[in-house]
Structure 1
Amino acid sequence: MKSLQIVMCGLLLAACMVLPVSTGAQPQAAGRHGPPGRKPAPSANTAPIIPDDGPPPTVSFMTDRDPSTYKPLPRQDFLIVHATVLDGAGHRFDDADVLVRDGKIVAVGSGLDGGSARVIDARNRWVTPGIVDPHSHNGTYSMPLTSIDNESSDVSEMSSPIAADTWIEHAINSQDASFLYALKGGVTTLQVLPGSTPQIGGRAVTLHTIPAPTVAAMKFPGAPQGLKMSCGENAKGYFGGKGQKPTSRQGEMSNLRDIFYQADAYRQRWRHYQRDPKGPPPARDLKLETLAAVLDGDLLVNIHCYRADDMAEMQALASEFKFKITAFHHAVEGYKDPDLFRKTGTCAVVWPDWWGFKMEANDGIRENAAILDAAGVCVTLHSDSPVIGQHLNIEAAKAAGAGRHMGLAEPPEHVITWITSNPARVLGLQDRIGTLAPGYDADIVIWSGNPFSVYAQADLVTIDGAVAYDRADPAHQPVSDFQLGRKAGGTGQ
């Protein structure tokens, strides 16, 4: 038996050394990397091929081929006066003012002096940070859908369960009208994620909801990049149905552990080359490059997961390979074990009332968000749909209402964090958006009334202090190319 174990360990080690090869430039030196000392537990089949015998050198797997070209819309300084302000940090200010200069929030208070700034009277209206949607498929799951989307939608690369080498921004149609409908609903920033059929769907992108001819012109400058992963029914159902691995949950975990072992070996080879650059550099592999960035702590990991036991398995995977899960998305059974989130600082990105549409969603409950929130978990609502993305304020209201019904009542100044500062944290932008405080980007919504009322509408939306949408001014009501043409019921004149 011992000799068989030795043979098997040798085979595993050899498998880790056989890496797929793809062409491309070398990973760039400099940039950020994770903390030193990321070592797998020493054993026959986890020890790195090149010993990790010191702090990592400055090799980065985070080259951005398409950097942001975003430029703020034309803007002016302004002072909002006499508003009910929910600041996104848990505070409410009545009859309050918000001063904005040079695209940044300067002050929130009463009786502020705006000097020559434009004055906006918000009496009887409410002001909040711009809504942040941490889970969108806008631009790739464009409505209306066509027959081609059944088998070749741009939302996912379906040729392999491991699509870590793909970037969703390379598929996004910036002309999708859903972006502007979201803007009309108060959304100023959203994260577009790949779909959940592959186990590793690829890299995400964070965008502003502005009209633009290219994705690069919408990209949030300096936003950290995310990665989409999934667990549960989707991968085993799709790929198993085609006779491919995985056909089971255990097959899914086997795939993930195998590819992360390969990624760690790949990372160590590059570190070794940086320490001793003799001979040719390691062959570049885009899949392993993405996962090496995860191991370095440079990508924010977002995992589609429904069941509590599946989330526990993914946390065990993260613990084994020493990376952090930023958020579980959907998480309909999160209420069963809040410690799955609280112990690691993982956020829960949830719906208020979706359940029963697939087997792993059968135990979803309306009170999920409120229970997790009461347990001290970072909770945020999300769309996952171009329709829901137009009224995330009402999604938050529904979740709060369910909590109130079971005795977990929270005031508006707390509920607003579920769609502002908490999702900003999921995006790694908690120090720039999601809160009305000095120095933050002036992404602001002026609502016609309480934003958690079904009658409330976004009257004015600013991004970086520029008016992006104004319900009272057609000049600030952008439309997509998809919407141009004859008006419904009109004469075309």
Structure 2
Amino acid sequence: MIPEFRLRARTGVLATLASALALTACATTGSAGETGSARSDDKTFAARIESEGVFASTYKAYPGIATALKGATVFDGRGGRIENGVVFFSGGKIVAVGGPDTPIPADIAVFDGTGKFVTPGIIDIHSHLGDYPSPGVDAHSDGNEATSPTTPEVWAEHSIWPQDPGFTRALANGGITALQILPGSANLMGGRSVTLKNVPGRTMQQMKFPGAPHGFKMACGENPKRVYGSRGRMPSTRMGNLAVNRDTWFDAIDYANDQASGKGVKRDLGKETLVGVLKGEILVHNHCYRADEMALVMDMAKEMGYKVTAFHHAVEAYKIGDLLRANDVCSAIWADWYGFKMESYDGIMENAAYLHQAGACVVIHSDDQDDIQRLNQEARKAQKAGLRLGIDISDATVIQWITFNAAKAMGIEAMTGSLEPGKMADVVLWNGDPLSVYSRPEKVWIDGALMFDALDPKRRPVSDFELGQPGEGDVK
């Protein structure tokens, strides 16, 4: 039962989130005495900076030229397949996709794709590159702020090391053109995620995907209760997990209502993130394994007024495919990881196939610096597991699991994830069937710029960190 004062807060937020929450979540209101701030112009300055974008993307596409790929088999990322197809892009955007009769302007770069395949750039919805970079040492362990069960105030982007060699390996070996970097799963609320374009950059902002919404990492199950229960703190049980989550959401609702009513409230970075979730501006990505817990989380989301965009790992998603479809929640899953802890014990290789059969959204993810280099192969494993059951899923649909569906769950599907006119020219030319273990990217374009070419050593990006350290006698 919800206590009376909480019920009033909940009722209030239902009335205010649709209108009054148009307020900026980061600006404070009221007098200096009400907010605890010493100077009113400090508040004005904070509001001005927020309106310009905090840690805003400074990404600029690398130079590219008008290019056409012709003669290849084209998977468009939306379930379509074109034999002997043409993909034409210019100015960083897809211009045309079609059959062999698709017009190609004269005097542009044309690549013969005969016997090859073209897909949209591969997207990994769940990565920790940059936050847990290589080499994997304690000094680089920056993905879990495991100091409190709820840390919504932290942002994964503030840990990202752009020189992580994993970025360039994911590009060259896996055709990865965009990826979401998440905090770890030690906490019930781990903080904001960020989406990156997989390009070399000196700063995180130079990689930050322009216009992509933040995500919000949550976790249920064994991890939070194990981490904090071992310290004699709450939560130590699954019921503790839900209780702490609900109480934190109610506090955020009170904060939102106080802001909307014009009360002076002290700025709270964590609650700003939670209010962004309640407003639908920040997308929830929830680490969750067991089907019963996913069902509970969806009920909690309805109670609080937010939506889960995707359950990650979700090894038991196949048990509730109908519920996931009805709630429009994607399942970002592995092809075959299971059994490494109790909540993963019922994982099956047919998970993706059963979800597809139920009409639910399927995404294949990595959560691993090695698997990100072969999401195409992971997707094939999931497809073949279904085929052994008699569930025949087309190659074109399987490509969608690692392109458009990932983009949809990350809130960037209007910009990338499929080969459609007007979208970013994020394109991979494969030297063979992209779902084969024998194939690999031959060329990768990001926003129309050729970022990797297996046939040109000068277009094989290498992280600064991999170039080595100064030797004895070198300038220090």
TM-score, normalising length from structure 2? 0.90
Query: Residue 59 in 1 paired to residue 59 in 2?
Result: no
Counterpart Cα distance in 1 of 2:15 and 2:344: 43
Instruction: In structure 1, give the amino acid aligned to 2:456.
Output: D
- Compute the displacement of 1:47 (Å): 4.3
Counterpart Cα distance in 1 of 2:340 and 2:366: 16
- Compute the displacement of 1:44 (Å): 6.0
Counterpart Cα distance in 1 of 2:120 and 2:156: 27
In structure 2, runs of 5+ residues without a counterpart are 27-49, 470-476
Match of 1:244 among 226, 233, 258: 233
- Compute the displacement of 1:56 (Å): 1.8
Query: 1:366: which partner in 2?
Result: 349
Provide Cα deviations, 1:434-487, integer angstroms capped at 9, x if missing partner: 11111111000000000011010100000000001110111111100121139x
Verify the 8 A CA contact 1:78 1:114 in the aligned structure 2. no
CA 1:54–1:401: 2 relative to 1, 3 Å: closer
Query: 1:419: which partner in 2?
Result: 402
Q: How does 1:172-251 map to 2 (within 5 A)?
A: 172-184=160-172, 185-251=174-240
Query: 2:362: which partner in 1?
Result: 379
Query: 1:157: which partner in 2?
Result: 145
Counterpart Cα distance in 1 of 2:281 and 2:66: 35
Provide Cα deviations, 1:260-302, integer angstroms capped at 9, x if missing partner: 10100100111111xxx7xxx3111111111111111111100
Query: Residue 261 in 1 paired to residue 250 in 2?
Result: yes
- Compute the displacement of 1:61 (Å): 2.6
Provide Cα deviations, 1:414-445, integer angstroms capped at 9, x if missing partner: 11000000001011111111111111110000
- Compute the displacement of 1:374 (Å): 1.1
SS of alignment partner, residue 22 of structure 2: coil
Counterpart Cα distance in 2 of 1:49 and 1:339: 29
Query: 1:470: which partner in 2?
Result: 453
Verify the 8 A CA contact 1:383 1:392 in the aligned structure 2. yes
Query: 1:169: which partner in 2?
Result: 157
Query: 2:121: which partner in 1?
Result: 130
Counterpart Cα distance in 1 of 2:279 and 2:9: 20
Counterpart Cα distance in 2 of 1:147 and 1:283: 35
In structure 1, runs of 5+ residues without a counterpart are 17-42, 487-493
- Compute the displacement of 1:100 (Å): 0.6
Match of 2:419 among 400, 424, 436: 436
Provide Cα deviations, 1:195-219, integer angstroms capped at 9, x if missing partner: 0111000000000111111100000
Instruction: In structure 2, give the amino acid aligned to 1:301.
Output: V
CA 1:246–1:446: 2 relative to 1, 3 Å: same
Counterpart Cα distance in 2 of 1:268 and 1:361: 39
Query: Residue 72 in 1 paired to residue 64 in 2?
Result: no
- Compute the displacement of 1:145 (Å): 1.4
SS of alignment partner, residue 430 of structure 1: coil
- Compute the displacement of 1:340 (Å): 2.6
TM-score, normalising length from structure 1? 0.86
CA 1:143–1:57: 2 relative to 1, 3 Å: closer
Query: 1:282: which partner in 2?
Result: 265
Counterpart Cα distance in 2 of 1:397 and 1:308: 24
Counterpart Cα distance in 2 of 1:333 and 1:432: 31
- Compute the displacement of 1:410 (Å): 1.3
Verify the 8 A CA contact 1:99 1:114 in the aligned structure 2. no
Q: CA RMSD in A?
A: 1.8
Verify the 8 A CA contact 2:165 2:462 in the aligned structure 1. yes
Counterpart Cα distance in 2 of 1:429 and 1:53: 23
Counterpart Cα distance in 1 of 2:237 and 2:352: 29
Match of 2:438 among 452, 455, 466: 455
Match of 1:108 among 85, 91, 97: 97
Verify the 8 A CA contact 1:311 1:340 in the aligned structure 2. no
- Compute the displacement of 1:156 (Å): 1.0
Query: Residue 120 in 1 paired to residue 111 in 2?
Result: yes
- Compute the displacement of 1:144 (Å): 2.2
Counterpart Cα distance in 1 of 2:185 and 2:235: 14
Identity over the aligned pairs, expressed in percent?
44
- Compute the displacement of 1:322 (Å): 1.4
Verify the 8 A CA contact 1:60 1:293 in the aligned structure 2. no
Counterpart Cα distance in 2 of 1:53 and 1:169: 27
Provide Cα deviations, 1:58-93, integer angstroms capped at 9, x if missing partner: 313374420000011111001111111011111111
Verify the 8 A CA contact 1:469 1:478 in the aligned structure 2. yes
Query: 1:337: which partner in 2?
Result: 320
Number of equivalences = 441
Q: 400-409 or 105-114, which moves further after superposition?
A: 105-114
